[in-house]
A and B are shown apart, each in its own frame.
Chain A
Amino acid sequence: MAKAKGYSDPKMEEKLRDRYYYRTDSNPEFSKRIRDISQTVSHMCYQCGTCTGSCPSAPRSSYRIRLFMRRNVMGLEDEALTDPDLWLCTTCYSCTDRCPRDIAPTDVIMAMRNLAAERDIIPVNFLKTVQAIYTTGHGVPNNDVNRAARQRLGLEREPPTVHKYKQYLPGIQKILDHYGLKARADKIVAEAEKHA
Chain B
Amino acid sequence: MREYAFFLGCIAPNRYPGCESAAIRTSRKLGIELLPLEGASCCPAPGAFGSIDLKIWYAMAARNLVLAEKMKKDIALLCNGCYKSIWDVNHKLKHNDELRDGVNEVLKEIDMEFKGTIDVWHLIELYYDPKIVGVDKVRDSVVHPLTRTRIGVHYGCHLVKPKKEHHFGDSENPMWIEELVGALGAEPIQYRKKMQCCGAGGGVRGYDIAHSLDITNEKMINLHEAKADAVTEVCPFCQLQFDRGQIEIKEKFGKYWGLPVLHYSELLGLAQGMSPAELGLDLHAVDCTPFLKKIL
Contact = CB atoms under 8 A, between A and B. Distances in A.
Contact of A56 (B15, B60, B106, B199): B199
Contact of B195 (A57, A94, A106, A129): A94
Interface string B11-41: 1011101101100000000000000111111
A161 B208 contact: no
A133 interface: yes
With a 10 A CB-CB cut-off, give which of A60, A89, A125, A159 has the most chain B CB atoms: A159
Given A87-B207, A175-B107, 7 more contacts: A87-B208, A153-B17, A153-B278, A155-B13, A155-B17, A171-B112, A178-B106
Given A88-B207, A155-B20, A97 B171 contact: yes
11 contacts: A87-B202, A87-B207, A90-B212, A92-B161, A92-B201, A92-B202, A129-B49, A143-B14, A161-B8, A175-B109, A178-B106
Interface in A155-196: 155, 159-165, 167-168, 170-172, 174-176, 178-179, 181
Given A56-B197, A149-B17, A114 B204 contact: no
Interface stretch (B50-58, B138-146, B182-190): B50-58
A138 B55 CA distance: 19
Contacts of A137: 41-42
B39 A167 contact: yes
A91 B202 contact: yes
A161 B37 contact: yes
Interface residues of B, number: 67
A133 B42 contact: yes
B130 interface: no
A143 B202 CA distance: 24
A141 interface: yes
Given A125-B206, A141-B10, A161 B40 contact: yes
B60 to A, nearest CB: 6
Given A165-B38, A171-B110, A130 B10 contact: no
With a 10 A CB-CB cut-off, give which of B47, B50, B201 has the most chain A CB atoms: B47
A178 B109 contact: yes
A123 B39 contact: no
Interface in A110-150: 110, 113-114, 117, 122-123, 125-130, 133, 137-143, 146, 149-150
B13 A133 contact: no
What 4 pairs between A and B have smallest CB-CB spacing? Answer: A125-B206, A168-B39, A159-B13, A160-B36
B283 interface: yes
B258 to A, nearest CB: 22
Nearest to B96: A39
Given A126-B203, A149-B283, A155-B21, A93 B56 contact: no
Interface string B162-186: 1110000001100000000000000
A179 B55 contact: yes
Contact of A90 (B52, B110, B201, B283): B201
A152 interface: yes
Contacts of A24: none
Contacts of A126: 47-48, 51-52, 203, 206-207
B60 A138 contact: no
B3 to A, nearest CB: 15
A90 B109 contact: no
A113 B52 contact: yes
Contacts of B206: 123, 125-126, 128-129
A159 to B, nearest CB: 4
A89 B206 CA distance: 12
Given A114-B53, A130-B48, A175-B59, A138 B10 contact: yes
